[in-house]
Amino acid sequence: MRYALLQLPGLAAAIGVILLVRRWIVFADYWAWIAVLLWIAKDVVLFPCVWRAYDWDDPQRSRPMIGKRGRVREKLDPEGYVEIGGELWRAEAEASSQPIGEGKGITVVGMDGLLLIVKPDDTHAP
């Protein structure tokens, strides 16, 4: 539904251009309808390619790091770096936790942009 609503301004602009062109070039009404239908067909054909970009409510897509486990590479007091899946990420210890020492296991519990919010996780093995 979001995708369809976000396509309406483009459709309105296309219709406006068609109406303007009809002032200078005379053509049959069915050509205008064909142009509008082609514009809508374009949106329908592209939908499978872009629908994920419009699915903002799915936390798995919008916050994919939540729940991931890793190790502290630089002491989190409150910020530092953690390694998750072979990648270094800037992270901050969750507000209620104490500083987390280097080499300790962590679990991601939130995100603030690209900053990971983590909590200690003693069950994580490298």
Q: How many helices (H) and strands (E) does the chain have?
A: 3, 5
User: CB neighbours of 52 closer than 8 A, spacing ≥ 6?
Assistant: 61
Structure pTM?
A: 0.52
In a domain, 38, yes or no: yes
Q: Are residues 51 and 65 in the same domain?
A: no
Domain that holds residue 73: 61-120
Q: Are 120 and 80 in contact (CB under 8 A)?
A: no
Band of pLDDT at residue 4, cut at 50, 70 and 90: confident
For residue 34, give both structure tokens.
Answer: 């064909």
In a domain, 125, yes or no: no
Q: Are residues 46 and 78 in the same domain?
A: no
How much is the average pLDDT of 38-52?
Answer: 85
In a domain, 116, yes or no: yes
In a domain, 43, yes or no: yes
Domain limit, last residue, from 15, 36, 55? 55
Q: Are residues 107 and 76 in the same domain?
A: yes
User: CB neighbours of 42 closer than 8 A, spacing ≥ 6?
Assistant: none
What does the alpha-carbon distance between residue 86 and residue 88 come to, in Å, rounded to a whole number?
7
In a domain, 126, yes or no: no
Q: Are 113 and 119 in contact (CB under 8 A)?
A: no
Interval 49-100: pLDDT, tens: 877 666 656 555 556 788 899 999 998 888 999 999 899 999 999 887 788 8
